[in-house]
Amino acid sequence: MSQEKSTIPGNHQQVPLKVLAIGSAYEDTILYVDKFPPEDGKQRAQRVEKRRGGNAGNTLTVLSQFPLTQGYFMASMASKDASAFLLHDFETHNIKTSTCIFRSNAELAPVAYIIYADNTSSRTIINYNSIDELTFEEFKRKFEAACVEEVDTLNNDLPFNWIHFEGRNVVEVAKMIDYIGTKVWRPRTKISVELEKPYRRGLETLMSRADVVFFSKVFAEGKGYNHAGDFLQIMSPHCKNTALLFCTWGSSGAMCYNNQTRKLSTEPALPIPSVVDTVGAGDTFTAGVIYGLTQGMTTEGCLKFACELAGRKCAQVGFDCVVEKMSKLF
């Protein structure tokens, strides 16, 4: 167990923060069963749980726990009726959804059914998403409306301190980032991209446009690498020469490569009493980095802070109060 003092800054001056995250939101239904059912069999679940899923939304859920921090979620969603569960959950977590597009003809929200088998700890996933992705024009309309609404509310003329994208819908997202690049306030915001799925095409297009790039272990392994450091150095030429590249590596912690200084930093995972729930650990790490960088932490400080935040998330079910626990020892 870690007996070190937490890395959360104690009485520092909090910088108000507005984060826009663009991605996809899922209704996750988790079916807890004793054992995975045989094909054609009938099985009773011990418990069924419904959660909001989706990486960008998870990151906002954690970010929203920090003081003076407002999250905005943007996605192409099903009809408002079909999105009721998701919207209610965003609202509960104080995340604004006025930036979402609702497709009135889509009667089913994106769903994932996750079968957790107790005897083998396996997770079998069946997912479904029939919602058309967000187009650049839709983004532009919602983004402009949000800018008008948000300018001057917290940070003078800066609508968002940070804009984070899930690495999907590549062609349209590239246009979105280029559009943000035309804004006079662009140099004062940060743009990040999170790359999780290695099989998606054209992701280099997004890497080259982001100030901060988040890679998953699955992504690195899918590209044929089994070490985060090697992988980040290979990826670095595809990124901006001022970019920061992060890669999480499960129980081995995470690494960061600074493309400007060419420095590679490593941070081990936080030793925790027992791993309870790793769903969204990477998204929590992302929240930690976004928070740390906007608060003026060093790259190494950020990496350490984000690793601790992700570790504390793994020690609990869900995301509730994980930020609050950063000020406590295990």
Name the site residues for a second copy (rule: CB under 8 A).
Answer: 29, 31, 33, 36-45, 47-48, 50, 108, 111, 113, 115, 117, 120, 122-128
Cα–Cα distances (Å) from 291 to 16, 59, 60, 210, 222, in that order, read 10, 10, 11, 17, 28
Report phi then psi at 229, rounded to 5. Answer: -65, -50
Question: Least distance in Å: CB of 273 to a second copy?
Answer: 26
CB-wise, 10 or 41, nearer to a second copy?
Answer: 41
- Residue 194: burial class (beta carbons within 10 Å; 0-12, 13-18, 19+): buried
CB-wise, 113 or 136, nearer to a second copy?
Answer: 113
Give residue 166's Cα distance to chain centre.
Answer: 7
Question: Least distance in Å: CB of 103 to a second copy?
Answer: 16
Which single residue is written with the structure tokens 């790359």? 195
Question: Least distance in Å: CB of 320 to a second copy?
Answer: 17
Max CA distance (Å), the chain: 61
CB-wise, 126 or 145, nearer to a second copy?
Answer: 126
Q: Which residues pair with 35 in a beta bridge?
A: none
> Quick one: DSSP state of residue 133?
P
CB-wise, 48 or 145, nearer to a second copy?
Answer: 48
Distance CA 194, CA 212 (A): 9
CB-wise, 14 or 79, nearer to a second copy?
Answer: 79
Question: Least distance in Å: CB of 111 to a second copy?
Answer: 6
Which single residue is written with the structure tokens 């699955």? 218
Rg (CA), the chain: 19
Question: Least distance in Å: CB of 121 to a second copy?
Answer: 9
CB-wise, 84 or 171, nearer to a second copy?
Answer: 84
Which single residue is written with the structure tokens 């062609």? 171
CB-wise, 117 or 234, nearer to a second copy?
Answer: 117
Question: Least distance in Å: CB of 47 to a second copy?
Answer: 7
Question: Least distance in Å: CB of 84 to a second copy?
Answer: 9
Question: Least distance in Å: CB of 198 to a second copy?
Answer: 13
Report phi then psi at 183, rounded to 5. Answer: -80, 140
Distance CA 49, CA 104 (A): 27
CB-wise, 207 or 279, nearer to a second copy?
Answer: 279
Count Cβ atoms below 10 Å from residue 149 Cβ, excluding itself: 14
Which single residue is written with the structure tokens 């959660």? 51
Crossing angle of the two packed helices 281-294 and 55-63, in degrees rounded to 10: 50
Distance CA 235, CA 95 (A): 33
CB-wise, 84 or 275, nearer to a second copy?
Answer: 84
Question: Least distance in Å: CB of 6 to a second copy?
Answer: 35
